[in-house]
Structure 1
Amino acid sequence: MNRLTLVHLTFLGVGKPPATVEFSPELTVIYGASETGKSYVEKSVDYMLGASVLKPIPEDAGYSRILLGLQVDDGRVMTLSRGLADSHIEVFNRDLRQLTTAPADATLGFKHSSTSQRNISRYLLKVLGIDGRKILRNSRGEVRLLNFRDLARLSVINDSRMAGEQSPVLTTGLPQNETGEKSVLKLLLTGQDEPVGPTAPGNVEKKVGKGQVEILDRLIDDNREKLTIPANQSELREQLGRLQDSLDNATSRSGQLIASRSALVRRRRDLEASDGTNQQRANEVRQLLSRFALLREQYESDLERLRMVGEAGNLLGYFQTGTCVFCGAEPEHQHPGHHLAETTRLAAAVAAETRKTTELYRDLISTIEDLDAQAAELNEENALHADQFTRIDTELRALDEQLEPLTTDTSEVLAARSRLEQELAIHAQIEQLEDMKASLSNALPVPPPARPDSIPVADITDFEQAIHQTLQAWDVPGENRVNYNPTSAEIAVDGRPRGSRGQGMRSIIHAAFAVSLARRNRACGLIHPGFVVLDSPVVTYRQPDNREADPELMTHDVVEHFYRDLLDNPPGQVIIIENGTPPAAITERARIHAFNADGSARLGFFPPQEQSSAD
């Protein structure tokens, strides 16, 4: 069978400098300070090999595509290309290191399918020459096709799994997957598929209810495959309770802020209504003042004309009583045809009109003054409204700034709660289906259980010896006698189960398990992807103060023996991610990437933000 070698991992983005690491075909060590992107390299490799999601980090902002270079034992070179949030993976049959608009040689989904080959799992299995291999699906003896993710979980190991208490064999931590995970190890140790056979005698299959049981089994399996959170119902309910408490707190705080904001909005609305009324009244006052200004001009013009008429009459004596200005006759001697009566009436009319116009003019002036006062008062109120608008808007912006993170947090909590509720609903549905199946199965004999632990003793012994030799080569304290229990999938060293050991020993045993599996299967020509990625296999080890008091403590040179063994007896390609500086003796024989470490020129996997923006 073929094996794969990782060549490079490269992040690309428009206007961004490439972020890349090159991998040695044997040993690559990535070490340095925390928060420099070391573990992100492991997660990105896993994502490119078919993991569903890659959780973003601030440093990957602006990067849109990931390239993973691969080389096959038969000489083929290929590049996998995937967006940071993409469900499809493109395959280029060449070494690609930059963004391209050229069409891919293949476009594949990330999710495995037994009915289609247009997915990365079936593609890589076909490259390895093992597509179509079968493992157990469940304890009823049903089988399924091998998924590349089954192999990737044994080869790409993150720091939490490395030191976790769960067996290295049980890679997902989900109880419903245990049978399949044990069957995967059996396939790797023996090279033999699980046989396809009946799950019960043929005469039983013909009984009434058999078809219903099969349908229920299928529904149960389908629902179990929908589960994405490695937790049981009790743990899910605890998580849901914590989320609900967090949501209640956020809702209470948001409710207070929203109530305050609503009160401000009501005040602003009332102020807008009052300001609108003032503006309308101010417009009316301005219109009246404009009209009264014209009327005032008219009154002043009328009074001016009456004054001129009066002056002209006085000058000519038209409006005087007594001696006639024309003939000198006294009033008693003036005959009836004289113009005395007319001129007297004219003078009276002019005087009366002058009095009337003057009174109207005075009333108009008083009205104008009153309107001017109203206009000044309205202007003051409008200015006061403007100040109030400014204060209210400032308070609203402050409340919005406080609400924005609460709204985001609440949305995230609601999304998480929704996921947990969906998981619990699936668990409840599985329980309901199991109950229905139990009621139907009373009439059916129980089919013989599958034997996921039926690994030949010779193969188990051989694998135990391989792990023993690895631990000895690494100078791990103790006799390092290894026992693997196929039923529980637990590994014990010197009689102590790995899950009961301290974090340091759990990590080193897990690393020995992965390395020994790769080394043994490479030597025997058995199934293995060809590479191992280990995140933090020896970071927890410290030199012991008293080794005799605690024989489990690591010797001071375990790390040196660990790296030396990987170089002297390579199990294939190994990529180590660590915080600590590797021994100086290996720097010339391995490919080393130092992230923000003493003497390193590289601050992290991604170029600094200043460099990115400058470019």
Structure 2
Amino acid sequence: MNRLTLVHLTFLSVGKPPAAVEFSPGLTVIYGASDTGKSYIEESVDYMLGASELKSIPEDEGYSSILLGLRVDDGRTLTLCRALGSDTIEVFSGDLRDVPTQPAEATLKYRHHPKSKSNISRYLLNVMGIDGRRILQNSRGDVVPLNFRDLARLAIVNDTRMADKRSPVLGSWMPQNETKEKSVFKLLLSGQEEPVRPTAPSNLQKQVGKGKIDLIDQLLDETRERLSVEANQTQLRDQLGRLQATLANATAAAGQVAAERSAVVRRRRELEAADADTQQRASEVQQLLSRFDLLRQQYESDLARLQMVGEAGTILGYFQTGTCVFCGAEPQHQHPGHRLGESTQLAAAVAAETRKTTELHHDLISMIEDLESQAASLHEDHARHTEQLEGNDQELQTLDQRLEPLNTDTAELLETRSRLERELALHAQIDQLEDLKASLSAAPPAPPVAKADGIPAADIADFEQVMSQTLEAWQVPGDNRVTYDPTTAELAVDGRPRKSRGRGMRSVIHAAFAVSLARRNQARGFIHPGFVVLDSPVLTYRRPEDNKEEDELLAYDVVKNFYSDLLDNSAGQVIVIENGTPPKSVRDRAAVYAFSVDGSTRQGFFPPLDSSW
């Protein structure tokens, strides 16, 4: 994994000189009088790495933005830029010491969000190669992704937390955070993230589960009441099997009769169609006969009239005198035999017309006889069709009588089958409800409480040994036998809990904890930011007027050995903020900033208000 190294912290303003410190990749010591901005440097570093706020001091008035340079193990250099009071942090490539003029590589929110990468926490974790590592959130087993702030609180220790009675493992006094804070320490010591495990049901989930069981019981009672057949599922399935066989036979028999009936119906339709054609043809023949009979009567009337005309003409030709009845000639114009000639001509005309009408009459009589023959044949066909249809009706009646009981039996069988199937469906529903109830009632016991203190004993022993060696190197009085209780997260030295020690000793033990964790994890390739910032680890307070080196709360040898160990045994990058003056040997081997002490060139982190630039 990559580790981070702090390069510089720079405050910028228009019209004011920059306020800056440059950090050594090894040891940086910032010491001097109180109220000179030392702790403000630590707070500003924390602010640039995602802290929510930076409390203002009079000296920062007029400064608008802060730059924090970072160097990554893979060789990259980054600069974080954040305006005072801003919720966003801009990231630039390279080591910037002035107001950025190029576009930001990324603009990030300061607040961590597990589902978004647009925040400084996810960005830095990704740079380090550990984004997404899981830690335990609570005793129910819920896991959440690691937050860079979880690492920052172990690496950046302000003066209040340094001497606090609370364990260095725990970052707050809120009990609900203990599981998570212990899990972070477990991740750093063992390198193993928390697995995703079944979570224990909450009280609400338990109440919901009980409510589900009550509802299932109610549904079971209602379903059982709907059962109407006193038989179990096996008996019902046997009955249904037998019923299906009977139903198949009944259906086959009914189908055969229905097929016969369909054939009869089809023949009946054919007969009805043929009889309809016969009746239509008979009707047409009858209409022709009626018309031809009228024509026959006309022909016969015409023949009678012709005969009468012929006879009348003969009589008139012989006996009538005067005007000719045939041509209208007066007697004086008539020649001898005139009437006889006219009579003969009339007789010839009548004879010709009679012959013609007689021929037509004979043809008509022949056609009438033929039509009457057709009518008789059609009548016979109709009678035959009627007889066949009556037989067909009788056959259909017989088939309907055969089909009626079969249909009745089939309907009863189908109704019985539906009832059995409904009963089986109710039994299946009861089984499902009982299985669901069993799964809720006989649910596996809640998983054991997830413990963030389940750190392998070998890792605890390893850390205890490294911390004991650190205290021994600092020559803290005593045997310096360190023990860590993973249940309470309490550290004890020589059997005495840290919280029971004095303020100065609590600070030294906390400093040894932070340094040892960085040193151990760097050596073993485990997770760690790569830097440690310690505010007042070996001296709690020093007044500006107290410039004597011996005016310190701990023995001078402990202070001297503290710095020597940090120089000789690498713990990565360590930044120490103290009131007390470090030994002279440190000043030659570390980056040292002295604020408001004899011989110092700086009154504090910020230039004096009246300084020109």
Q: TM-score, normalised by structure 1?
A: 0.59
Say whether residues 1:448 and 2:448 are aligned partners: yes
Larger Rg: 2
Q: How does 1:257-336 map to 2 (within 5 A)?
A: none
Does structure 2 retain, via aligned residues, the 8 Å contact 1:135–1:143?
yes
Deviation of 1:124 after TM superposition, in Å, equals: 0.2
The change in CA–CA distance for 1:201 and 1:564 in structure 2 (over 3 A counts) is same
Tell me the secondary structure at the aligned position of residue 556 of structure 2: coil
Amino acid at match of 2:132: G
Amino acid at match of 2:76: R
The change in CA–CA distance for 1:17 and 1:179 in structure 2 (over 3 A counts) is same
Does structure 2 retain, via aligned residues, the 8 Å contact 1:50–1:149?
yes
Deviation of 1:570 after TM superposition, in Å, equals: 1.4
The 1-side partners of 2:16 and 2:198 are apart by 57
The 1-side partners of 2:171 and 2:598 are apart by 35
Q: How does 1:266-415 map to 2 (within 5 A)?
A: none
Say whether residues 1:95 and 2:95 are aligned partners: yes
Q: Hey, what does 1:582 align to over in structure 2?
A: 582
Q: How many residues are paired up?
A: 374
Does structure 2 retain, via aligned residues, the 8 Å contact 1:532–1:575?
yes
The change in CA–CA distance for 1:206 and 1:53 in structure 2 (over 3 A counts) is closer
Deviation of 1:175 after TM superposition, in Å, equals: 1.2
Q: Hey, what does 2:478 align to over in structure 1?
A: 478
Deviation of 1:201 after TM superposition, in Å, equals: 8.8
The 2-side partners of 1:28 and 1:75 are apart by 21
The 1-side partners of 2:98 and 2:506 are apart by 40
Q: Hey, what does 1:209 align to over in structure 2?
A: 208
Say whether residues 1:117 and 2:117 are aligned partners: yes
Deviation of 1:586 after TM superposition, in Å, equals: 1.1
The change in CA–CA distance for 1:136 and 1:584 in structure 2 (over 3 A counts) is same
Does structure 2 retain, via aligned residues, the 8 Å contact 1:476–1:555?
no
Does structure 2 retain, via aligned residues, the 8 Å contact 1:182–1:452?
yes
The change in CA–CA distance for 1:212 and 1:134 in structure 2 (over 3 A counts) is farther
> Structure 1, unaligned stretches of length 5 or more?
214-440, 543-552
Deviations 1:161-192 (A, max 9, x none): 00010000001222111000000000000000
Report runs of 4+ in structure 1 exceeding 6 Å deviation: 204-208
Say whether residues 1:198 and 2:198 are aligned partners: yes
Deviations 1:396-444 (A, max 9, x none): xxxxxxxxxxxxxxxxxxxxxxxxxxxxxxxxxxxxxxxxxxxxx9x99
The 2-side partners of 1:607 and 1:212 are apart by 69
Deviations 1:573-608 (A, max 9, x none): 000000011000111100000111110111100000
Q: Hey, what does 1:529 align to over in structure 2?
A: 529
Deviations 1:266-312 (A, max 9, x none): xxxxxxxxxxxxxxxxxxxxxxxxxxxxxxxxxxxxxxxxxxxxxxx
Deviations 1:358-398 (A, max 9, x none): xxxxxxxxxxxxxxxxxxxxxxxxxxxxxxxxxxxxxxxxx
The change in CA–CA distance for 1:197 and 1:592 in structure 2 (over 3 A counts) is same
The 2-side partners of 1:137 and 1:533 are apart by 26
The change in CA–CA distance for 1:62 and 1:210 in structure 2 (over 3 A counts) is farther
Q: Hey, what does 2:177 align to over in structure 1?
A: 177
Q: Hey, what does 2:236 align to over in structure 1?
A: none
Deviation of 1:567 after TM superposition, in Å, equals: 0.3
CA-atom RMSD, angstroms?
Answer: 2.4
Amino acid at match of 1:25: P
Does structure 2 retain, via aligned residues, the 8 Å contact 1:463–1:516?
yes
Deviation of 1:446 after TM superposition, in Å, equals: 5.0
Q: How does 1:67-146 map to 2 (within 5 A)?
A: 67-146=67-146
Percent identical residues? 68
The 2-side partners of 1:149 and 1:212 are apart by 41
The 1-side partners of 2:194 and 2:205 are apart by 25
Does structure 1 retain, via aligned residues, the 8 Å contact 2:112–2:121?
yes
Does structure 1 retain, via aligned residues, the 8 Å contact 2:540–2:579?
no
The 2-side partners of 1:212 and 1:501 are apart by 53
Deviation of 1:453 after TM superposition, in Å, equals: 1.1
Deviation of 1:210 after TM superposition, in Å, equals: 5.2
The 2-side partners of 1:85 and 1:129 are apart by 29
Amino acid at match of 1:148: F
The 2-side partners of 1:190 and 1:490 are apart by 18
Deviations 1:523-542 (A, max 9, x none): 00000000000000000499
Amino acid at match of 1:496: R
The change in CA–CA distance for 1:565 and 1:174 in structure 2 (over 3 A counts) is same
Tell me the secondary structure at the aligned position of residue 31 of structure 2: strand
Deviation of 1:69 after TM superposition, in Å, equals: 0.2
The change in CA–CA distance for 1:541 and 1:596 in structure 2 (over 3 A counts) is closer
The 1-side partners of 2:210 and 2:127 are apart by 38
Amino acid at match of 2:84: L
The 2-side partners of 1:558 and 1:22 are apart by 27
Tell me the secondary structure at the aligned position of residue 135 of structure 1: strand
Tell me the secondary structure at the aligned position of residue 17 of structure 2: strand
The 1-side partners of 2:142 and 2:205 are apart by 18
Q: How does 1:513-552 map to 2 (within 5 A)?
A: 513-540=513-540
Does structure 1 retain, via aligned residues, the 8 Å contact 2:138–2:180?
yes
Amino acid at match of 2:470: T
Does structure 1 retain, via aligned residues, the 8 Å contact 2:93–2:105?
yes
Q: Hey, what does 2:461 align to over in structure 1?
A: 461
Tell me the secondary structure at the aligned position of residue 18 of structure 2: strand
Does structure 1 retain, via aligned residues, the 8 Å contact 2:140–2:201?
no
> Structure 2, unaligned stretches of length 5 or more?
213-440, 543-552
Deviations 1:505-554 (A, max 9, x none): 10000000000000000000000000000000000499xxxxxxxxxx94
